[in-house]
Amino acid sequence: MRVEARGLTFEVRTGGPEGGDPVLLLHGFPQHGGEWDEVVPALHAAGLRTYAPDQRGYSPGARPAEVRAYRMPELVADAVALLDALGVEAAHVVGHDWGAAVAWRLAAHHPERVRTLTAVSVPHPAAMSYALGNDRRQQARSSYMLLFRQAGLAEKVLLAFDAAVLRRMLSAVGDAGRVARYAEPLRQPGALTGALNWYRAMSRADLAQTGPVAVPTTFVWSDKDVAIGRTAADACAGHVTGPYRFVVLPGVTHWIPDEAPAPLAEAILARVRGLA
The matching CATH number, chosen from 3.40.50.1820, 3.90.1150.10, 3.40.50.970, 3.30.300.10, for 2-272 is 3.40.50.1820
pLDDT at 276: 56
Task: Flag whether pLDDT at 121 surpasses 60.
Answer: yes
Q: Write out pLDDT tens, residues 244-262.
A: 999 999 999 999 999 999 9
Percent of the chain residues topping a pLDDT of 90: 96
Q: Which one of the listed residues 78, 97, 225, 258 is annotated catalytic?
A: 97
What are the strands of the beta sheet with 114-120, ordered from one edge? Answer: 2-5, 8-15, 48-53, 21-26, 91-96, 114-120, 217-222, 244-249
How far does the chain reach from its first CA to its final CA, in angstroms? 32
Rounded to the nearest 10 degrees, the angle between the axes of helix 153-169 and helix 176-183 is: 150
The answer to whether the peptide bond before residue 30 is cis (omega within 30 degrees of 0) is yes
| Average pLDDT of span 205-227 | 94
d(CA 249, CA 223): 7
Residue type, 147: L
Confidence tier at 206 by pLDDT (50, 70, 90): confident
Q: Write out pLDDT tens, residues 29-63.
A: 999 999 999 999 999 999 999 999 999 999 999 99
pLDDT at 47: 98
pLDDT at 205: 79
Task: Flag whether pLDDT at 20 surpasses 80.
Answer: yes
pLDDT at 207: 81
Give the count of beta carbons closer than 10 Å to the beta carbon of residue 118. 29
Q: Which one of the listed residues 199, 225, 239, 258 is annotated catalytic?
A: 199
Let me know if 97 is a catalytic residue. yes
d(CA 121, CA 22): 22
Let me know if 58 is a catalytic residue. no
Let me know if 199 is a catalytic residue. yes
Task: Flag whether pLDDT at 78 surpasses 70.
Answer: yes
pTM above 0.85, yes or no: yes
168-193 burial, b at 16+ Cβ within 10 Å, e below that, comes to: ebbeebeeeebbebbbebbeeeebbb
| Average pLDDT of span 170-182 | 95
| Average pLDDT of span 101-108 | 98
Residue-averaged pLDDT of the chain: 96
